[in-house]
Chains A and B, each alone.
Chain A
Amino acid sequence: MGNLIVEALSMGWMALAILVGLLIYFQVSITDPTAKKRAVFKTFIGIVSTFLLFIAIANYKMNFYGESRLLPVSLAMITATTFIMALYFTNLSALLKIGGFMFFVAAFLSGYGNWLPQVEGGFPPKEEKLDFSSMTPQQLADEGEKIIFGGIGKNKEQGAIGKGQCPLCHAFHAGMLGERAPNLLGIVNRAKERIEDPKYSKGNPAKRDYVVKEAFPGAGTAENAQEYIAESHACPSCYVVEGYGVKGTNDRESPMPPIHKPPISLSLPELVAVDVWMYVREGVEPPSFEEMIKSYEKFIPEGERPQLQENKPKEGEASSLMADGSEPVDQIFAKAQCVACHTIPGIPGAVGTIGPKLEEGTTAAQRIKAPDYKGSAKSPAEYIMESIVDPSAYVVKPYPDNTMPKVFGQKLSAGALKKIVDYLSQVKAGAPPPKIS
């Protein structure tokens, strides 16, 4: 609160000074006691309202990018301000009340938005280069589970979702939600029955009564269970399970997108990993990696196979970024090599002594208040950001200036910087380190 008042005064001191000047002027110049009382009182109300207004603005300014969910309080304060003013400035009463009411509606709706659970959509999944071909079935299954559910052991967690996005529509266990697409429990065995379904038209795709008859001309139909699963991924509309087609198409078209194409774009080895998880979790031995890759190659022509590292930045451009923000914070610290010079509680390997120990949850606020502090930060978060992008703004004693590189503002993405600031602002001296996210 103290910071807020200081900030409000630093922003609004001129307006307040003018009002105080007016107050004194009215006190001195008006002779009629009733008129004087009224003018002085109105000016006093003006001072109070202006002060409230600047507190509200300061709250917005200081907490805009923070985790504070109390920003709408500013709007409520402005509402109160306008209503107070409307009581005394009758000429503008209608306008002030309407304005105040609008601020109130906005405050209510903003407050509602801040009161609800806060979910932030993460950065797009980064394509990692893993050598799937040399993995054991269990390792492959683990990778598959990560792709489907976002992590190992998450398959029974309702709502868990990975880059494959499968659980958006499919359920994987008996009794779990997923009414939009078939439950995939038992699919490795059921696949054999599916290819014998007359509607599937095994061996004769031309006879199929679906929007798409073949994955691509000449692809043919599946001959075994694995090929059926591969075809379902590559060409969902080649065969649609009854009751799960696009509404109005009489189950001739599937709502499922081809998984090897955008937006999901799983590579062939990733698709194999997904399949292996489905085999392994049911205790069925999966076919070999090569066989499974072949099953996909049968239905995905070469030109359509997504290349790993497709979005690798062009040389000389963003490849110069040390971290793009999609990594966990410990990796960001490692990639930016902060760990070489700083000790950072909670970060493995961060035991450097060239720079100060980073316990910014405690030290940042003290340093802003230090008499020799000349930077422009007003909050710990701003101080941390300033120290990264402009290390010379304030140099902690007894460490020398110009030791820390000044390039981190360009070498780290905004997302990575935000993660660093968030983490460091939670590190407090004498307290257990925060969790890595």
Chain B
Amino acid sequence: MGVVTRKKLFSTVALCAIVVSLFLPIVMALPSPATGEEAPVAEGAPKEGEKVEKARDVYYKTEGIVVGAPAPKTTDSPTDYPRYNFESRVLIWFANQQHLYYGSFVLAVPIFCMIIEFMGVMTKDKALAKRYDQLAYDFIKISLTAYSLTAILGGILIFTFLTLYPTFFAYLSSIFRPVMHIYALMFVAESGTLYIYYYGWDKMKEGFLKWIHLSMSVILNVIGTLLMFLANSWIGFMMSPAGVDEQGRYLGNIWHVIHTALWNPLNLHRILGNMAFGGGVVAAYAAYKFLAAKTDEERAHYDWMGYIAMALGVAFLIPLPFAGYWLMREVYAYRQQMGITLMGGLLAWLFIIQATMIGILFLSTNYYLWQALGRMRGAERFQRYIKYLVFLMACGFMVFITPHTMVMTPAELKAMGGQQHPVLGNYGVMSAKNGGINVIIVTTVLSFVWYMRGNKVPTVSWARFGNIFMGVFFACAYINIIFLAIYGYYIPANVRVGLSVPQVASTLSCLFFMFALNSLMMKGAKQLGPIEWGKISARSQYALIMLATAFTWMMGLMGYIRSSVRLFWHVNEIMRDNSPWAYTHTVGFAANVISANVLFFWISILFVFWLGSLTAKKAPVEAKVGVPGAIPQPAGSH
């Protein structure tokens, strides 16, 4: 075993040990993880000889000893809902949303850094490796100022809760007491690791130390992700409580309280969402720098940065609808009425906006990729086919946003003659909508494949066969998705639901097999010309900004939907909201508040970018741009 290999092995083992030790506090805090057996006597529980009261868990249906007080019954009074001369709900909404935006950003960026730093370490091309390393450093630099803002906003959020919703927050913290402390301690660990990671960058840039540095980014991300999971457990509990009885009394099993019905789907959805959002923000930063650049060199660097951020963001955007689908399925499984309120009831119009936005996100991504073909010599051959992709995407988009049943006012119902539109009501069933979004995603995959092939021609001996196979594979995927979308109209609703599985399978097969096969075919491919970084149109940069803004807006929208589906409950079915704001706002009002949140975030983050530019500047590009070999190959960036 060579010295280097041994060192790698040692660093891996050390890393694993550190990661495992990070989980220790959580494991220690769990008296009976996940098994659902009866909880042991917890702190504060009656001692031997005293009368113990047992109750049944509302979700797990296990029996446990009552150790908490029942959920308070609030009234519209200054004790439970003290207020300013303004709607408290809007204030808490604002504080929450800003904290979430920054929180998502600072959790996503270190994951990017980890991926990019790893790519740099693994790349054999020294110049390219340096560029990746510099890029990762630039990313973490941006997130550092945002990090302290996140903490400040977290403080503001807690104060807002304490001052405007004291009774509710007291109840929540009485249940999550240990989790909240672990959360705070992990935040300390996160800060420490982040500072060592950032300030140790130059000291740990070679050999074994570089591996240690890279390992630290893994630790940083593990802590960050756990932090998010813990925070998610609070909202999971508010939506689908567990670990308490029907009166909201805590039954001593903290794992039940954390591991609620919606916790895991929320975790997955948020990780992917954060990544796509982080990609969007960094891409917008790069776009801003690109548009403001004075030299070709700067333009080339920021063009490249924008591309990498966009590609990473989109890589996580593509599976996001599937994670969303899982979340919704779990919502339906947990409470059918909750699902219907979301998708076919009070909040259904918001989902129409969401569908529109998903369409916008994918259209912007594709538009960027088509524009990006322009900076590659040899990509002209694909240009004339783009109109067909536009056609496919437009069709998919129109089907995707067509509603089936909607909630309406009596006057609207009367005008329409029923809950379904006389023409549109025949369309818009779920299988067709799934067909629409799957066509959009498959088309995006196709755009990416074309982009990866932009300036290259495969030279492998089986290239012809490979091309035909890929063509047939894509055609079959389209046919399968569209056929099932239409077939859904001929079968009952409960059978139709099952069609999503083969549709999604087609899309995912395209995603994984086609990318893998294409990468294999592009090995040693003949280059028709270099990628001229910086030679992309300014319009493409606006596509990136569109992507970032639309993503921020969509996050705001979905957060609002997720939160307002509880209707008049602080904790669903356990603690009632008796404030004067226990009603659901109109779509228009919500849209206005979301816009205000989005714009506040962007104005403040532009300020953060500006602050970042004040720090001592490192040379942005050390490797010379334009030299063949120094230019990152797009295929390797995916």
Chain A positions near chain B (C-beta within 8 angstroms): 64, 69, 71-72, 75, 94-95, 97-99, 101-103, 105-107, 109-110, 112-114, 116-124, 157-159, 165, 168-169, 177, 179-180, 243-244, 246-247, 255-257, 261-263, 310-311, 313-314, 317-319, 321, 324-325, 413-415
Contact = CB atoms under 8 A, between A and B. Distances in A.
A159 B408 contact: yes
Contact of B87 (A157, A180, A244, A414): A414
A159 B413 contact: yes
B336 A106 contact: no
Interface stretch (B127-135, B447-455, B489-497): B489-497
B602 A117 contact: no
A22 B326 CA distance: 60
Of the listed residues A98, A114, A318, the one surrounded by the most CB atoms of chain B closer than 10 A to its CB is A98
A232 B216 CA distance: 57
Contacts of A105: 545-546, 549-550, 553
A414 B86 CA distance: 10
Interface stretch (B229-237, B267-275, B311-319, B584-592): B584-592
B330 to A, nearest CB: 11
A75 B573 CA distance: 39
Nearest to A120: B586
Contact of B582 (A102, A123, A255): A123
Given A168-B337, A257-B335, A116 B349 contact: yes
A325 B598 CA distance: 31
Interface in B532-549: 542, 545-546, 549
Contact of B75 (A116, A123, A177, A314): A314
B409 interface: yes
Of the listed residues A102, A107, A157, A165, the one surrounded by the most CB atoms of chain B closer than 10 A to its CB is A102
Nearest to B567: A121
5 contacts: A106-B595, A120-B585, A169-B336, A177-B419, A314-B73
Interface stretch (B10-18, B287-295, B377-385, B502-510): B287-295
B553 A106 contact: yes
Interface in B393-446: 405-410, 412-413, 418-420
B348 to A, nearest CB: 9
Contacts of B349: 116-117, 119
Of the listed residues B291, B336, B553, B602, the one surrounded by the most CB atoms of chain A closer than 10 A to its CB is B336
Given A114-B592, A179-B492, A106 B583 contact: no
Contacts of B606: 95, 99
B572 interface: yes
B346 interface: yes
Given A120-B584, A414-B581, A415-B583, A101 B573 contact: no
B493 A106 contact: no
Contacts of A318: 75-77, 578
A119 B586 contact: yes
Contact of B337 (A246, A263, A314): A263
Interface in B294-353: 332-333, 335-337, 340-341, 345-346, 349, 352-353
B79 interface: yes
B580 interface: yes
B18 to A, nearest CB: 39
Contact of A180 (B292, B345, B406, B493): B493
Contacts of B138: none
Nearest to A246: B333
User: Ordered nearest first, which 3 A-B pairs have the shortest CB separation?
Assistant: A113-B591, A121-B584, A318-B75
B409 A117 contact: yes
A263 B587 contact: no
A318 B80 CA distance: 10
B118 to A, nearest CB: 31
Given A317-B77, A413-B580, A414-B87, A113 B587 contact: yes
Contact of A112 (B335, B341, B356, B586): B356
A118 B492 contact: no
A263 B582 CA distance: 14
Interface string B599-629: 1001100100000000000000000000000
A101 B335 contact: no
Contact of A169 (B292, B340, B413): B340
B357 A113 contact: no
A105 B288 CA distance: 16
A51 to B, nearest CB: 20
Contacts, number: 192
B201 to A, nearest CB: 29
B569 A263 contact: yes
A15 B291 CA distance: 29
A192 to B, nearest CB: 26
B190 interface: no
Of the listed residues A95, A159, A177, A255, the one surrounded by the most CB atoms of chain B closer than 10 A to its CB is A159
B77 A101 contact: no
A189 B549 CA distance: 57
Contacts of A413: 76, 580
Contact of B494 (A116, A119, A243, A324): A243
B574 interface: yes
B489 to A, nearest CB: 13
Contacts of A165: 337
Given A109-B353, A243-B494, 11 more contacts: A69-B588, A71-B592, A105-B546, A105-B553, A110-B592, A119-B349, A159-B413, A169-B336, A169-B340, A247-B333, A257-B336
A106 B332 contact: no
A313 B578 CA distance: 10
B246 interface: yes
A311 B586 CA distance: 26
A386 to B, nearest CB: 12
Nearest to B569: A263
A263 B573 contact: yes
B583 to A, nearest CB: 5
Contacts of B357: 109
Contact of A159 (B246, B407, B587): B407
B587 A116 contact: yes
Interface string B53-94: 000000000000000000001011101000000010000000
Given A109-B595, A311-B73, A95 B494 contact: no
Of the listed residues B288, B335, B549, the one surrounded by the most CB atoms of chain A closer than 10 A to its CB is B549
Contact of B542 (A69, A101, A244): A101
A242 to B, nearest CB: 11
A257 B337 contact: yes
B375 interface: no
A436 to B, nearest CB: 15
B573 A262 contact: yes
Contacts of B591: 72, 109-110, 112-114
B576 interface: yes
Of the listed residues B73, B77, B345, B598, the one surrounded by the most CB atoms of chain A closer than 10 A to its CB is B77
Contacts of A64: 592
B433 to A, nearest CB: 16
B568 interface: yes
A256 B346 CA distance: 19
A414 B87 CA distance: 9
A94 B291 contact: yes
Contacts of A415: 580, 583
